[in-house]
Structure 1
């Protein structure tokens, strides 16, 4: 007696990825439409995974080029442009054999996917570092220098000392570690992409908390960027303690 479609579906669901081809072979002569659809769905998913792994291989090009270094650290920042809140940098050292599917430039991912990947990155990474520079400090030294400072803080907070830094587009001053600046690196390097996700999720959480402390500006939604809602609130209410005074002169007099 042949197995029911439900029983076959359970076999597919419980099978390890490498066992799927044998199941395709086992049921390839089963003409029931439910079985044919089941096989087609899993084959399509495997094709999608194969394409994703090929994409990831392309994102490991710099990690492979510098594989002589035991600990390669990706560096990226988020929060250069907002009117409010800190600038945050992430530093991530991934194991050489680490596979994190769907990792990409944080700007290309949904908030839900970033959260999922953040958890996986933190679980799998050899080390994760965060650097935060406040709005007051941004006003004091300017956003570029504040970004460099956040990156240095992120590196210093790592529990493992990196031997090479892969940076998104910049060379960080006053860092005695070899560096490689990669233009659009968050889309070209898994290490930098991981750092971009860590930085983005960390800063987003901070801005959501600030929204509770300073309601009315929409920080949970706009994350401090100059949305229409944010600018209108700024003009009506004036700045709060996390606004960057050097950024809001167009909207608030005597800022």
Structure 2
């Protein structure tokens, strides 16, 4: 286990958004977090990232050690891919500089990035398929290219877990398959937490599911029943077969 969330409550803008949330995240887990808008998904992520202090409860992080890491690097760390609307595309920074910023915690406050740091950035650029775009400003990138640059930043430090907040908002469906292929490769090296409103895509990709709607309902596998989804989303949802992949869709319904 790498993260334990125990009896967590949190408030946002003076309103309690989460209460009594419990969750365990394991090494190499691929956890999908779903739930209605305003249910507390992003608030939970901010608490896990340390960006928001809980009003009650605690989060425990356990150090992880990978084969390529030295003893001094054997500690818990997180990579983060934020929501698209939080990114300032006018900021004058290149692809290489974006990914390098993911190693800021690895250098001393007044130190410079080392040749080893820059080699790791080159490896991340190649892995993300961004060769030739190293010096391009982020404002000149397509949505898919920007997403891969930010994903490179999230993984360049060899984190224990990578957290992605609504990644499908960056890209069209053509690039989505490429993203999930990348995530499947990354998942061999670390845990992934994926926040999404796209129930169908999440259920196809992840190993476990947590539905957040003020409280948290956890499923250790993706065998989520239609009844459970209807109860938690208050909307009828139908399961469709499409090729070899099942899809969840909202059925016809009316809000009262």
TM-score under structure 1 length normalisation: 0.27
Q: Which has the larger radius of gyration?
A: 1
Q: Which has the higher strand share?
A: 2
Q: Which has the higher helix share?
A: 1
